[in-house]
Amino acid sequence: MVKDKFNDAESIKVKDKKSNLHSWSAQNNVDPKVITKAEGIYYWDHTGQKYFDMSSQLVNVNIGHGNKKVIDAIKEQAEKLPYIGPAHAVDVRAELATKLLEVAPDNMGKVFFTIGGAEANENALKIAKMFTGRNKVMSRYRSYHGATYGAANLTGEPRRFTCEPGIPGFIKFFDPYLYRSPIEFNNEEEASQYYLDQLREQIIYEGRESIAAIFLETVTGSNGVIIPPKGYLQGIRKICDEFGILMVCDEVMAGFGRTGKWFACNNWDVEPDLITFAKGVTCGYVPLGGVLVRRDIAQYFNDNTLMCGLTYSAHPMGCAAGLATLEVYEEEKLIENSRAMEVVLGSELENLKAKHPSVGDVRYIGLFSAIELVKDKVSKEPLVSYGQDPDGIMPQILTSLKEKGFSTYSHENIIIIAPPLTIKEREIREAMSIMDEVLTEVDDMVV
């Protein structure tokens, strides 16, 4: 029986590699695991090995794998009405939009549903330009907003390079990345003021009346879980108000309890003008994303045509999954658990930082965290240079983790740790003991 399963798995892998293009990879380097099941915070491959899913796949499976409530909602909707065009009204669409507005910041008025996060940002771009009549958009260098052409031009990190020369009017500015700042600040507020002053000056040089929106990941995600310093987001809000610029918070990764709040912006009591979301709204069970739109912006389109549309906008099965997912967050108190487990995960991360020469910094909020690896703690020289890893050091580290049952991903010199919000203290400590073991191996590289 085991032999048959193995043969089936080998056949699956051969067919997969023969027929599929795998994202962000040279195809000859791809060696995908054949996955047979997933439940809770774990998944299993065809050999029976169990993995802690310590990145919630792509930081989206917030409610864990195999949630029966969401699966049943998808089944019920498939039997009832699997698809109808977005021009129609459907019960689950109306109910999900209503529920999202209940948990969103108070200034939000309507929702435009998309297929996923990249499409959410694409449509937020269009909404911002239509509403303001302006042509420029600003976003940060350490950002990822999606791989479609407009979203890739919003993106600041190397994944934008294949879409260059880019679209005119996309302007980049620097993040308040305090660990790597060339300036030693006395406190977070001082750092925030410095970066805000730089941004304000750049806006003036770009033409204050030409900028439609400032896009920012409320908490920078894959580019390092960079948490905004005190006063920074409030300062962005003030600058946007001063110049009539829309503040767009990309919460595709940070939303739905990931930071211990429904939306990450709630942590700083800031109300954006638009919020883009995806991932945690259905936790990957069915694709869905969207844009939450400020009340008066929504009203603008009462008399002005909204030039946005997608065949699968507000897909009924996605909406049914989303509605059930929001109920799971509430019924299982997962947002509260995210806040409670931050203490446990944070303690584990701080211990690793104190113990390992290779750990330069750790950052965490809710169950959203990162370990930054360095060659030297004093100089802060990264373990691999930005945009370069010719020796494949980071893949080696990830492979070692995975062989021991710890599944996650890295970006640049940073390992992301963002487990499902269902995780318990015992599971965090068990998983992080694997991380501790592998970091000891990494220490040998830098000592």
- Write the burial class of residue 114 (CB in 10 Å: 0-12 exposed, 13-18 middle, 19+ buried): buried
Calpha distance 23→280 (Å, rounded): 21
Range with the poorest average pLDDT among 160-169, 267-276, 319-328, 344-353? 160-169
Does pLDDT of 246 surpass 70? yes
Q: Using one digit for the tens of pLDDT, what is the confidence trace for 337-378?
A: 999 999 999 999 999 999 999 999 999 999 999 999 999 999
Whole-angstrom distance, CA of residue 40 vs CA of residue 420:
8
Instruction: Say what the pLDDT of residue 3 is.
Output: 47
pLDDT value at 5 more than 60: no
Q: Check whether 400 has a pLDDT greater than 80.
A: yes
Mean pLDDT for the stretch of residues 20-48: 95
Distance CA 84, CA 90 (A): 8
Q: Which residues contact 255 (CB under 8 A, 6 or more apart)?
A: 262, 263, 264, 275, 277, 279, 280, 281
Q: Tokens for 369, please give them.
A: 């965290």
pLDDT digits (tens, 9 = 90+) for 152-203: 999 999 999 999 999 999 999 999 999 999 999 999 999 999 999 999 999 9
What's residue 6's pLDDT?
52
Residue 248 near residue 408, CB atoms below 8 Å: no
pTM value is: 0.96
> What CA–CA distance (Å, rounded) separates 33 from 208?
50
Confidence check: pLDDT of 4 > 80? no
Distance CA 102, CA 96 (A): 10
Band the pLDDT of 1: cuts 50, 70, 90: very low
pLDDT band at 407 (very low <50, low <70, confident <90, very high): very high
- pLDDT tens figures, 52-94: 999 999 999 999 999 999 999 999 999 999 999 999 999 999 9
pLDDT at 446: 83
DSSP string, 195-235: HHHHHHHHHHHH-TTTEEEEEEESSB-TTT-BPPPTTHHHH
Indicate the DSSP class of residue 182: S
Neighbouring C-beta atoms of residue 88, cutoff 10 Å: 10
- Chain mean position to CA 11: 33
Residue 447 is predicted with a pLDDT of 72
Tokens 């990190």 sit on residue: 157
| Domain annotation for the chain: domains and CATH numbers | 33-63+333-446 (3.90.1150.10), 68-331 (3.40.640.10)
Q: Note the pLDDT tens digit of each residue in 118-129.
A: 999 999 999 999
